[in-house]
Amino acid sequence: MPTTPAQAANRPKPKVPYMQNNFMDLPKPVVPRVENRKLLKGQKAIVTGASSGIGRSIALALGHAGADICINYVAGEDKAKAMVDELRGHGHTAFSFRADVSNENDVAKMFEAVRDEFGTVDILINNAGLQSDASFDEMTLAQWNRVIGVNLTGQFLCAREAVREFKRRGVRPEISCAAGKIICVSSVHEVIPWAGHVNYAASKGGVMLMMKSIAQEVAPYRIRVNSIAPGAIRTPINMQAWDTPAHYRELLKLIPYKRIGEPEEIGRAAVWLASDESDYVQGTTLFVDGGMTLYPGFETGG
Ligand code: BGC
């Protein structure tokens, strides 16, 4: 049984910086403005699940960086077409393709269509993902299978097609140092357990070791494979976490940086990870989470 030294009771309590303020008194968040650079000029990209949320922002950012984009979607044809119009409106090249990423045949057809349209693929953004939440004992097998099917098997199927294409084509030094780049959109929940979301956390944990194992295997072919792990980003998937001031205050308890992330911040990370600026980055997860993975409970506890 540990004993407490007598003098400990008189010792002043350490000052926890965050506790001295109400977080409403902390500096107001400023969302960065960053200039677009054509880091991906001449490259061809597929963004899965690109008609909304994080996928939408990544597709726009890649387009602004000079890439031609295939907008993959499974539902919501209108939104996908609107995305294509938006990219074209900026002078970028884009088309949309409907494919269920958890279906082997659909994925093969999508890569064929991109080869027909663009000649090849340089960048795969493995983004399509969903949540289907339930307490563990009430989770149905269908909920489990659907989330694993899209979030994990879908990333496997798309990555496999991409690697086949990258190996077939090899490096074109005038386009990129690498034969191809795969970016898996994972989540902080590849390392943070998440009660009530067991299927989702299991899928993202799976993405982490799938990504690293593929990265190890294909690195000698100059194929780069990495992940981005977003924290809480303002998108429809987690609207209940930020839609009222009370919910937002609760959410900020989990974020040392004390603001929600914006989808554009994931777009910028994706451009960098897909570009030659990060050429020596392999098999890594880039957390874009305002510190959510830094055990936020220890700001004031422990
Ligand atoms: C989930 C969001 C959640 C965030 C942080 C993401 O992967 O999709 O719903 O807000 O992780 O918990």
Query: What CATH architecture applies to the domain 38-236+263-294?
Result: 3-Layer(aba) Sandwich (3.40)
Rounded distance between C-alpha atoms, residue 233 and residue 239, angstroms: 9
Task: Report the alpha-carbon angle 61-161-58, nearest 5.
Answer: 10
Q: Measuring from atom 2 of ligand 1, which residue has the nearest CA?
A: 238
DSSP string for 221-272: GTEEEEEEEE-SBSSGGGGGGTSSHHHHHHHHTT-TT-S-B-HHHHHHHHHH
Residue 45 pairs with which residues in a beta bridge? Answer: 69, 123
What is the distance in A from the centroid of ligand 1 to the CA of 131?
9
Q: Which of 200, 248, 280, 295 is catalytic?
A: 200
Structure token digits, residue 294? 């830094």
pLDDT of residue 283: 99
What is the distance in A from the centroid of ligand 1 to the CA of 230?
8
Q: Kindly state if the Cβ of 53 falls inside 6 Å of ligand 1.
A: no
Our mutation pick for probing the ligand 1 site, out of 187, 200, 254, 287, counting the most ligand atoms within 8 A of Cβ, is 187
Is residue 257 within 8 A of residue 214, CB to CB? The reply is: no
pLDDT of residue 278: 98
Is residue 104 within 8 A of residue 154, CB to CB? The reply is: no
Q: Kindly state if the Cβ of 232 falls inside 6 Å of ligand 1.
A: yes
pLDDT of residue 129: 98
Q: Kindly state if the Cβ of 131 falls inside 6 Å of ligand 1.
A: yes
3-state secondary structure at position 68? strand
pLDDT of residue 27: 79
pLDDT of residue 34: 84
pLDDT of residue 13: 60
Q: Kindly state if the Cβ of 188 falls inside 6 Å of ligand 1.
A: yes
**CA-to-CA dists, residue 127 to 2, 13, 37, 52, 109, angstroms:** 49, 46, 23, 11, 18
pLDDT of residue 188: 98
> For the chain, what are the domain ranges?
38-236+263-294
Q: Nearest to residue 47, comparing CAs of 62, 29, 27?
A: 62
Rounded distance between C-alpha atoms, residue 97 and residue 79, angstroms: 12
Any catalytic annotation for residue 200? Answer: yes
Longest dimension (CA), the chain: 78
Q: Kindly state if the Cβ of 120 falls inside 6 Å of ligand 1.
A: no
Nearest atom in ligand 1 to 289's CA:
5
pLDDT of residue 2: 59
Splitting the chain (302 residues) into consecutive groups of 10 residues, what average pLDDT does each group show? 60 60 72 88 98 97 98 97 98 98 98 98 98 98 98 99 98 98 98 98 99 98 99 95 94 96 97 98 98 94 84
Q: Measuring from atom 12 of ligand 1, which residue has the nearest CA?
A: 232
